[in-house]
Structure 1
Amino acid sequence: MMHNNTQHQFISHDGTSLFYQRWAASDNPEQKAIVLFHRGHEHSQRMAHLVDELKLPDFDFFAWDARGHGHSPGERGDAPSFSACVKDIQSFVQHLTDTYQIQPSNMVVIGQSVGAVLAATWVHDYAPKIRALCLASPAFDIKLYVPFAKPGLTLLSKLRGNFFITSYVKAKMLTHDEQRAAEYDTDTQIAKAISVRMLLGLYDASKRIVEDAQNIFVPTQVLCSGSDYVVHQKPQRLFYERLPHPQKEFHILEGFYHDTLGEKHRSIAFDKIRRFVQQSFAENHQPIEIVHADKIGPSCAIAEQLSAPLPKNSWKYWFWNLTKKNLKIGSRFSQGLKIGEDTGYDSGSTLDFVYRDQPESTNILGKMIDRQYLNAIGWRGIRIRKQHIEQLLPVYAEKLIAADQPLKILDIAAGHGRYILDAVAKISKRPQSILLRDYSELNVASGNRLIHSKGLEDIATFQLGDAFDQASLASIEPQVNLAVVSGLYELFSDNDLLRQSLSGLSQAIETGGYLIYTGQIWHPQQEFIARALTSHRKGEAWVMRLRSQAEMDALVEQAGFKKIDQYIDQFGIFTVSIAQKI
């Protein structure tokens, strides 16, 4: 059977038109696809040989040119961020589903080197239900051969901004295939340089994904080149060992250089990939059960460990006690720390201070502490989460308005309601109603003042309400068609609470209506938050159980919703997703 090659464009998340190729099978009744992601510096045509050599005639093949590569736009070797390229994959796969009616569950993703890291990050952060993932020599840790290269590049990027580094890699270090090496040297579309922001973004994402590979829930095969001069082998092994899916494989290909899929004896690799792909389709696709991760599994164990008291004579006990005392002392000067100590660092009052993003202390020391506090990576992520909600809410509000449906908005844990009311200002038509709810009388009072200041009293109300009271949520009248739950579920480990809330929300939302929900899938300061910060719950420690995106999506799906889009900050911490009531 032959594959028919055609070339196309798709519009990505930021409006950029990216190039891709399709090799359509002459007979593909099951609508199966292989999606290819090329190495750094390269482009889709460098993977075109896989279409014939993999010997999978009943699959469509797709391969893109990442932005800044091949026929896609952008400065060569650069992109707005590494996370923007990961989001490009989400847009690409959605395009394939919409255009060719190929479901993710019928897709196998094959990525090489940087393309493998992009693919692994996408699977981790966006939790697509793909059939399988094959990673060839993932570039989790590039051999830079220069001492202190990464910290040096980080410092230089802060001083100089973005700049470019030319790759030291020669073709003879990539493959024993002389023809392929010669093509690498003469291919004018290969970008030999990479921007520092992309390189540092690659490092940061790789470190996070290797550490948190426990939250990749798809069958995964890792092919490791045994004589790789470009990337280290150890992180590939660590990544594989942490994968939770029982259908996983790790292969060391002795003597192979870095271009695993372009090596002289690449048929050895292709035989393994072909068998893995075919076996993945030999049985019905059954995602592994993850909705009980609050009761068993790594995230549950980590949260338990962080909840346990430390031995009183240990250095960690004294360190965290000193940290808490320093925060108490700092709260005498800093308004931000005072709000956190008085109301909880996860309270609506704290969030409102973080959203305002301005030092509010009256003394110089307090202002300095406020600024350092507001610049913490978690608070930066929180503000990006607010921006993402403000982007998503008007988009889906406009969809409802375009369908001549009166817009009825609900937020079940609104805090002070700032992000909702700010987002409403961007909608072309005033909503018919806005109902904000919160458990805190303080937040309700502050929210009502904010409603008054924005002149929305005629359409907006703020009520006291429990976001986990299923009956109370279900009884909301009239039903709404755009609901938001932001920053709430991340604070509670118990999935039964989420089920109650989501079940009530499902009854409160009209069929075809939308739910915007947030998640926290990773946090670099999880132990600091648990050991040093207090929550809004009567001064208790703020212990977070990080909930994978796959787990959060599964709970939303159980309640009768279908996920349709997602955003995530460049740090990989906070997600904002949209689902439709079905």
Structure 2
Amino acid sequence: MYKNSQHTFCSFDGTELYYQHWESSQNINDKKAIVLFHRGHEHSGRMAHLVQELNLPEFDFFAWDARGHGHSPGERGDAPSFSACVKDIQYFIQHIEQQYGISTENIAVIAQSVGAVLAATWVHDYAPKLRALCLASPAFDIKLYVPFAETGLRTLNKLKGNFFIQSYVKANMLTHDIERAKSYEQDPLIARAISVRMLLGLYDASKRIVNDAYHIYVPTQVLSSGNDFVVFQKPQREFYEKLPHPKKEFHLLEGFFHDTLGEKHREIAIQKIHRFIQQCFTEPYQKPDLLNADKIGFSCAIAEELSSPLPENSIKNKVWQLIKSNLKFGSQFSQGLKIGEDTGYDSGSTLDFVYRNQPESSNPLGNIIDQQYLNAIGWRGIRVRKQHIEQLLRKYVEQLNQQNRTIRIMDIAAGHGRYILDAVNQLPKRPHSILLRDYSDINVQAGQKMIAERELNDIAQFILGDAFDAASLAAVKPKPTLVVISGLYELFNENALITQSLSGIHSAMEKGGYIIYTGQIWHPQQEFIARALTSHRQGSAWVMRLRSQAEMDTLVENAGFKKVDQCIDEYGIFTVSVAQKI
């Protein structure tokens, strides 16, 4: 029935990761696939039994060995970061699409334990058009049993860097299946340890994904083991309850140990997965309706709440007023805070200070404040976003070069233009033209100065322009082949403005050209920003409505583009995506 073969695929950093493919003899015309993700310490061979047991002969099956596991390279139980493994999934699925002609819309994912957290994070952060997601005992919170273990590990990690922790879990704590437990103990490919950076990355991602599960728009089934010695059940339920998709299920499997899909009576779980996947494939893929997410839904409600003033005499209001006063006072010493207070913490001037990334105050106290300010998680993410824009700009300029296309770059809201001009300086060959636009005279003047400093006056110009004026954008000549939209749409809650802007860009661009667009899908300091920081718009409060990646991609797709690539920082805050005019 199935032909098994072993392969590798090239991930984002050039690493060749191992995977197995079980090709169905029945899967000929309308190809469908199930992708399996193993739990921590294990490898693809530990899930191979599911290919036959699931009894879904019309599906191809794929299963990888995560980096640092099984036959894949890397130190055992380690990876550059948890987010790197999530990005590996993105490249694995892209490989399946390109190599086997199976679209994401015809793929279901079955994942267990740590693999389930990786899969859930991928679905949240990259918004794939996945048909179904089945999560078995997702390891959203591991039982470490030692009091304050997580705090201690974080402290040790800061003091001594990365190190490894041996698993306390014995095989007979994972399954009642004696043969499977025995094979676990004897398997030479089992990685007995896990690195502390992977463990802490797992904790951080789990908290974020459980907290923000409202933005996972995929039919999802959660299977929870009733007698799980390894992970807690509470966050599994919390995750499930927040899922917005109407097709969702939670099953408590009484008496099951942690290895849910390797238990003695696993046919109970497998039958539930079989039914769920079959039902999800009874009708074509249905994309979520998110064009009006600015008017109804979770992100709209949160932004509305943060826009509402607090009761004047409430303790909470007094605390926030004190914080605002402290920022105002600190701006007398700190150049970073002064720029934020004077021009807005979301202004081009503030971003340019963040990009420069060095204290610039004229006194020691101000420099200390500057350093702490620049080290805020949001600003760290912004600088990673800049790196991702530069990386993707180089990549897609090269794509256009390979197609013998003229490179004409436009940035519709460039701020001071530092990030785009820095990126251009790294290109192997200068583009034919660069058009930078911004609404602010201050930004235009600063950008013109940077163009002159970099001796780009012969190919670059910086003009006043409204990024939401569709007619103005559509009239740009000559037609750009690569457009950058960075840090702009995140500042405006209304989707009508975004639609207007994208419409103008689509009209302006050559067919086959690319847009690079940013998103802000989550932020740990959303309330702080709304209650304490001011915007560039007449000093009003900076209230962000966080758009899910699925919503942002929907807006771009609705304007006539097809998404082809994406990066995200390790904190899960800022995304940089690429779409092509089709």
Superposed pair shares fold, TM > 0.5: yes
Q: Is the partner of 1:512 in helix, strand or coil?
A: coil
**Which deviates more from structure 2 when the two are superposed, residues 396-405 or residues 6-15?**
396-405
Partner of 1:17: 16
> What does the per-residue CA deviation read over 1:146-202, in whole Å, with 9 as the maximum and x for residues that have no partner?
100111100000000000000100000000000000000000100010000000000
Please give the alpha-carbon distance, in whole angstroms, between the structure 2 residues aligned to 1:281 and 1:543: 40
Please give the alpha-carbon distance, in whole angstroms, between the structure 1 residues aligned to 2:56 and 2:26: 11
Partner of 1:53: 53
Q: Is the partner of 2:168 in helix, strand or coil?
A: coil
Please give the alpha-carbon distance, in whole angstroms, between the structure 2 residues aligned to 1:450 and 1:127: 37
Partner of 2:386: 386
- Alpha-carbon deviation of 1:405? 1.4
> What does the per-residue CA deviation read over 1:405-450, in whole Å, with 9 as the maximum and x for residues that have no partner?
1110000000011111111112121111000000000000000000
> What does the per-residue CA deviation read over 1:224-263, in whole Å, with 9 as the maximum and x for residues that have no partner?
0000000000000000000000000000000000000000
Q: Is the partner of 1:455 in helix, strand or coil?
A: coil
Partner of 2:289: 289
Please show how residues 170-185 of structure 1 align to structure 2 within 5 Å. 170-185=170-185
Please give the alpha-carbon distance, in whole angstroms, between the structure 1 residues aligned to 2:204 and 2:139: 12
Amino acid at match of 1:437: R
> What does the per-residue CA deviation read over 1:534-567, in whole Å, with 9 as the maximum and x for residues that have no partner?
0000100000000000000000000100000000
Please give the alpha-carbon distance, in whole angstroms, between the structure 2 residues aligned to 1:330 and 1:249: 51
> What does the per-residue CA deviation read over 1:268-318, in whole Å, with 9 as the maximum and x for residues that have no partner?
000000000000011122122112110000100000000000001111100
Partner of 1:401: 401
- Alpha-carbon deviation of 1:222? 0.2
Partner of 1:242: 242
Please show how residues 131-142 of structure 1 align to structure 2 within 5 Å. 131-142=131-142
Please give the alpha-carbon distance, in whole angstroms, between the structure 1 residues aligned to 2:403 and 2:97: 23
Partner of 1:115: 115
Partner of 2:104: 104
Please give the alpha-carbon distance, in whole angstroms, between the structure 2 residues aligned to 1:30 and 1:222: 27
Please give the alpha-carbon distance, in whole angstroms, between the structure 1 residues aligned to 2:160 and 2:518: 35
| 1:227 paired to 2:223 | no
Amino acid at match of 1:223: L
Please show how residues 466-485 of structure 1 align to structure 2 within 5 Å. 466-485=466-485
Partner of 2:528: 528
Please give the alpha-carbon distance, in whole angstroms, between the structure 2 residues aligned to 1:52 and 1:239: 30
| 1:416 paired to 2:411 | no
Q: Is the partner of 1:576 in helix, strand or coil?
A: strand
Taking only the aligned residue pairs, the percentage that are identical comes to 73
Please give the alpha-carbon distance, in whole angstroms, between the structure 2 residues aligned to 1:109 and 1:287: 17
Amino acid at match of 2:473: L
> What does the per-residue CA deviation read over 1:106-148, in whole Å, with 9 as the maximum and x for residues that have no partner?
0000100000000000000000001000000000000000100
Partner of 2:26: 27
Partner of 1:319: 319
Please show how residues 67-466 of structure 1 align to structure 2 within 5 Å. 67-466=67-466
Amino acid at match of 1:458: D
- Alpha-carbon deviation of 1:402? 2.0
Q: Is the partner of 1:449 in helix, strand or coil?
A: helix
Please give the alpha-carbon distance, in whole angstroms, between the structure 2 residues aligned to 1:403 and 1:63: 34
Alignment TM-score, normalising by the size of structure 1: 1.00
Amino acid at match of 1:14: D
Task: Provide structure 2 residue ranges, at least 5 long, that are not aligned to the other structure.
Answer: none
Q: Could you tell me whether the CA contact under 8 Å between 1:214 and 1:244 is conserved in 2?
A: yes
Task: Provide structure 1 residue ranges, at least 5 long, that are not aligned to the other structure.
Answer: none
Please give the alpha-carbon distance, in whole angstroms, between the structure 2 residues aligned to 1:233 and 1:431: 54
Please give the alpha-carbon distance, in whole angstroms, between the structure 2 residues aligned to 1:515 and 1:80: 29
Partner of 1:512: 512
Amino acid at match of 2:382: I
Amino acid at match of 2:186: T
Give the 4+ runs in structure 1 shifted more than 3 A.
Answer: none
Q: Is the partner of 1:427 in helix, strand or coil?
A: coil
Amino acid at match of 1:325: S
Q: Could you tell me whether the CA contact under 8 Å between 1:398 and 1:428 is conserved in 2?
A: no
Partner of 2:41: 41
Please give the alpha-carbon distance, in whole angstroms, between the structure 2 residues aligned to 1:288 and 1:465: 33
Count the aligned residue pairs. Answer: 581
Please give the alpha-carbon distance, in whole angstroms, between the structure 1 residues aligned to 2:468 and 2:288: 27
**Which deviates more from structure 2 when the two are superposed, residues 395-404 or residues 213-222?**
395-404
Amino acid at match of 1:87: K
* CA-atom RMSD in angstroms: 0.5
